[in-house]
Chain A
Amino acid sequence: MRKFLVFMVVSWLALGISFPAAAQKAPLKNMQQADLNYLLFVIQGDNAADALAAIAELGKRKNPESLDMLQMQLLLGYPPAMSKAMIQALGARKDAKAMETLVFYTRHRSTELRVEALVSLCELDFGKDPAPVKVVNEILLKALRDYHEAVRNKAAWLLGKRRVGEAEEPLLKLFSRGSTAAMQALGFIGGIRTARTLAMAMENTKTSKEPLITTIGTLLSREDFGPEPVRVQLVKILGDTNLPGAQNVLMVYHGSGPDAFPRSRKLAFQILSK
């Protein structure tokens, strides 16, 4: 009987301790059904975890009111962690109306928020309107000149992903200053100048060769990269490089390179056959 009582007391204590935690988690279960006012209440509340969940929920909603609320809260200023979540939520909404708010945050003093704002800005869906796309590209090009490396790297990556040809020159300059992100981005947008720069970099004994080979591989895999003699030169350079990565690139290129450039693909095969 006594043992049973002790067991009951311990169980009660354990449950008692766990009750508040359960109570804290309770709103999370109802977040999907909660109205906007409740979400706002949670965002403005003391519980950071709930606030972040409420922000994420706002990002999932489809109605314009929730978007306005998200933007309004972002402009009222929150600690960086919450602002970051809000920016991510705006990006998830992909709504072009969020552009102005996100542009504001591309100039924020926090590097992390600037990077998030750039990423979210690139996620926005502008339909067939070229004007905002151009604005975003210009913002990304400007971000390439940011004094913070993380921002430059992200901008380079996004520019490469978006195939912004104007970025080639600044990316080449960044590459000359040792930026690996710029080099990778050049793989997606680079032309003859990039090929020449990469070829020269391959001769430099101080440069790490593997990322260069990967970038050349990316260049070769593009259908818009050419002309054929440039490809031939790059294939020859890869052929002269005694690294497994180069052979892999040549194999992939020979196997699945663009059909418009048979000469260089054939050369790749010849090199691999030796």
Chain B
Amino acid sequence: MKMIIYKKDDGGVAIVIPTNEGLEKLGGINNLAKRDVPTGKKYKIVDESEISSDRTFRNAWEINESELTDGVGD
């Protein structure tokens, strides 16, 4: 399962989890990312295994914007 991450305005990290319906109807994860990531936000497509399942400090997660290299939200 692939997911999409981007940096929120408050500096935290948002994670977009696609549905099969979304992937099918929007034509794949790149199209879905462009649509569901806020306009102008850089994003990266990552494997689910790269997302921590320990959410104890979820609101403190950070991402360096230079790592968000897969596209920009439309």
Q: Are A and B physically bound partners?
A: no
Give me the interface of A with B, judged by CB distance under 8 Å: none
